[in-house]
Amino acid sequence: MFRSLIEKNERRSQLSIMAQYLNTCFMISTVDDEYLISIEKGNVTNVEEGPFVMPSYIFKLTASKNEWLKFLQSTPQPGSHDIIAMLRRKVLKFEGDLHPLMSHLLYFKLLLASLRPAESNNEN
């Protein structure tokens, strides 16, 4: 579901500039599946799919698969269009050290939105 984050680096050159000093590793969970995502200088350098025995990460975003699918629609419905909107509906949980996420909030929003079908891609 989130494997293709690594496949779009070419298209995300502008996005990488927004996070050029960011090096981190975070996890996205759909409850049943987990994805460990590595970022170096704003580029996604690795996406590893679980299950994991002892995963190490800085922060974690957890929502059900269904909620992530709604978020990834080409034109998501109100309440599913943004990770803070999902937080507000209590369908997404932020955990861990949130500093990398909050200090690069727009970057992470656009990174995840880049997985939406191209016609409504929100990259700047």
Partner 1 sequence: MKIEKEPITGNYGKFEIDGVKHRIYWEEAGEGIPLVCLHTAGSDGRQYRALLNDKKILKKYRVIVFDMPWHGKSSPPENSQVGHYKLSTESYISQIMSFIDGLELVKPVVMGCSIGGRIILHLAIHFPEKFKALIGLQSAGHLDPYYDISWLHRQDVHGGEVCGGIAYGLMAPTSPENDKFETMWHYMQGGPGIFKGDLFFYKFDGNIGTEIKKINNSKCPIFLLTGEYDYSATPEETKSLADTIGIEMVKMKNVGHFPMSENPKEFLKYLHPVLEKIN
Chain residues in the site for partner 1 (CB under 8 A):
75-76, 78-79, 81-85, 87-89, 98-99, 102-107, 109, 120, 122, 124
Nearer to partner 1 among residue 60 and residue 81 (C-beta)? 81
H-helix segments, the chain: 13-17, 65-71, 83-88, 99-103, 105-113
Query: Which of 41, 99 has the CB closer to partner 1?
Result: 99
Cis status, amide bond into 51, omega within 30 of 0:
yes
Tell me how far, at minimum, the Cβ of 90 lies from partner 1, in Å. 8
CB closer to partner 1, 48 vs 79: 79
What are 93's strand-pairing partners? 62
Question: Quick one: how far is CA 17 from the chain centroid?
Answer: 17
User: Measured from the CB of residue 32, what is the shortest distance to partner 1 in angstroms?
Assistant: 26
Radius of gyration of the chain (CA): 13
Helix (H) and strand (E) counts in the chain? 5, 5
Distance between CA atoms of residues 15 and 22, nearest Å: 12
Q: Which two tokens stand for residue 40?
A: 């170096």
Q: How far is the CB of 22 from partner 1 (least distance, A)?
A: 11
* Closer residue to partner 1, CB minimum distance, 6 or 22: 22
- Smallest distance, Å, CB 3 to partner 1? 23
